[in-house]
Chain A
Amino acid sequence: MTGYLYYPGCSLKGSGAPYEKSLLAVFSALGQELKEIPDWNCCGATAYLSVDQDMAVAMAARNLAIAEKLDGQDVVAPCSGCYLSLAKAKATLAEYPDVRARVTAALGKASLPYEGRVAVRHPLEVLLTDVGPEVLKKRVTRPLKNLRVAPYYGCAILRPYPGVPSPQAPHSLEDLCRVVGATPVDYPNKARCCGGMLTAGVQSVGLRLVEILLCEAKAADVDAVVTTCPLCQYNLEVYQERICKAKGKDVRLPILYFTQLLGMAFGLDDHALGMDQLLRVPLVAPCAGVKA
Chain B
Amino acid sequence: MQVVRTVKYEEELDAGFTNQVASEPGGDAIWNCLQCGTCSAICPVSIYMDKTPRRIIGLIRGGFRDEVLGSLSIWICTSCYACTVECPQQIRITDIMYIAKRMAMKESQYQRFVVPAVEEAFVKMVRKNGRLTESRMGIKVVRKSGLRSGVAMFPIAWRLMRKHRMSLLHVERMQDPASLRAVLDALEPRHAPTAPAAAPSRAAGA
Contacts and interface: CB of A to CB of B under 8 A. Distances in A.
A42 B166 contact: no
A103 B187 contact: yes
B175 interface: yes
B186 to A, nearest CB: 4
* Residue from B78, B119, B145, B152 having most chain A Cβ neighbours under 10 A: B78
Main secondary structure of the interface of A (DSSP, over half): helix
Nearest to B101: A50
A277 B116 contact: no
Interface stretch (B5-13, B63-71, B157-165): B157-165
Interface in B167-206: 172, 174-177, 179-180, 182-184, 186-191, 194
A10 B134 contact: yes
Interface string A53-74: 1110011001000000000000
A47 B191 CA distance: 16
Nearest to A246: B152
B34 interface: no
B29 interface: no
Q: Chain A interface residue count: which class?
A: 35 or more
A277 B191 contact: no
A41 interface: yes
Given A47-B122, A197-B115, A110 B81 contact: no
A44 interface: yes
Contacts of B165: 14-18, 277
Interface in A153-200: 155-156, 159-160, 167-168, 191-193, 195-198, 200
A27 interface: no
Interface in B105-123: 105, 114-116, 118-120, 122-123
Contacts of B120: 51
Nearest to B125: A42
The size class of the interface chain B forms with chain A is 35 or more
A155 B81 contact: yes
Contact of B80 (A98, A99, A196): A196
A109 B102 contact: no
B188 to A, nearest CB: 7
Most chain A beta carbons < 10 A, residue from B75, B133, B187: B187
Contact of A39 (B84, B135, B174, B184): B174
Given A39-B176, A53-B191, A200 B85 contact: no
Given A51-B120, A198-B76, A201-B75, A42 B126 contact: yes
B79 A48 contact: no
B132 A42 contact: yes
9 contacts: A14-B133, A14-B166, A14-B172, A95-B25, A96-B25, A159-B82, A167-B85, A192-B80, A202-B76
Given A15-B160, A42-B126, 20 more contacts: A10-B131, A10-B132, A13-B131, A14-B166, A39-B176, A42-B132, A46-B79, A47-B122, A47-B123, A50-B98, A51-B120, A51-B123, A59-B126, A102-B191, A110-B183, A197-B115, A202-B48, A203-B145, A242-B156, A277-B165
Interface of A: 10-11, 13-18, 39-42, 44-55, 58-59, 62, 92, 95-96, 98-99, 102-103, 105-107, 109-110, 112, 155-156, 159-160, 167-168, 191-193, 195-198, 200-203, 205, 209, 238-239, 241-242, 276-279
